[in-house]
Amino acid sequence: MSHDSSPFRADGGEAPWRLTLRVFLERRLVQQGVIVLIIVNAVILALETSAGVMAQAGDLLSLFDRVLLAIFVVELALRIVAWGGRFFRDPWGIFDLVVVGIALLPDTGSLSVLRALRILRVLRLVSAIPRMRHVVQGLVVAIPGIASIIALLGLVLFVSSVAVTKLLGEAYPEWFGSMGASLFTLFQIMTLEGWADIVREIGRTHPYAGLFFVPFILIATFTILNLFIAVVVGAMQAEHDATAELAAAEMRAEARRAEETALADRMRLQDEVRGLRADIAALRADLASKG
């Protein structure tokens, strides 16, 4: 391989063509083009679910799907070339690679299920649109808090299901005849789906049933479930603040670099002016000595 075609220069820096390729891939027009192609691919995959459309234009849709897949593969290959090893350290790069790579696997025989997984390519919109990435990153940051809330909710459901099974299992076996049935019914009540009808029906034989179900709804629905929203919103706000702080730091660094460049240029001009003055003074002295 010649020196010009190498991705790295002899001094350890990256070759100009690699930096140029990176700038090209980061251009807004290129990013928007990728997003449009992903949306077009989603429409094609949706049309393939229609038997009538497939009967009339199945071959054409398959051709378009293969062309779009080829474009995605080329785009990923260019990104790998442009970023090198850093591409594989980026979680979003790995995500795109896996999503597109699934479509390259054979979808015949026992692997025919992979044909349905082609729709996963549409998820590339998440990595292609920065705002979606921030939402997902916020959700990932919120996972520890969400896990704690899920554990708390599970504890409440477990204790409540044991209690309601012992209290109402014999009278209403279809709802509370076992732990599994009680958990399902309590989960339904927690989502407020038909809870009033269930409680009214139970209230005919157990007038004080509301003393159990109303506090359960207040705790499980209006308190614990709202904690999910609080944790997710807090994590997203923290992610937004971190992103804003990073952008502000980059702007400050850019301003410092511009200021340092301007200062260096000013000092260079001053040195040149002093040199010109010295040359002029020397020229005058030479002329005076000759006169």
Q: What is the pLDDT of residue 4?
A: 42
Q: Which domains does the chain have, with CATH numbers?
A: 16-128 (1.20.120.350), 143-248 (1.10.287.70)
Q: What is the DSSP string of 162-193?
A: HHHHHHHTTT-HHHHSSHHHHHHHHHHHHTTS
In this prediction, residue 12 carries a pLDDT of 44
The answer, yes or no, to whether residue 139 has pLDDT greater than 50, is yes
Cα-Cα end-to-end distance for the chain = 66
Closest CA to 92 of 55, 66, 130, 146: 130
Q: Mind listing the pLDDT tens digit for each residue in 77-125?
A: 999 998 888 889 888 889 888 888 887 877 666 655 666 777 778 888 8
Q: Does pLDDT of 11 surpass 60?
A: no
Q: Is the pLDDT of residue 252 over 70?
A: yes
Cα three-residue angle 222-224-229, rounded to 5 degrees: 85
By CB atoms closer than 10 A (0-12, 13-18, 19+), residue 235 is buried
SS3 of residue 8 by DSSP: strand
- Phi, psi of 52, rounded to the nearest 5 degrees: -65, -45
pLDDT band per the 50, 70, 90 thresholds, residue 182: very high
Longest alpha-carbon distance in the chain: 128
Average pLDDT over residues 155-168: 92
Query: What's the mean per-residue pLDDT of the chain?
Result: 83
Taking the complete model, does pTM exceed 0.75, yes or no? no
CA 100, CA 76: separation in Å to the nearest integer? Answer: 9
Residue 70 has pLDDT above 50, yes or no: yes
With a cut of 70, say whether residue 222 has pLDDT above it: yes
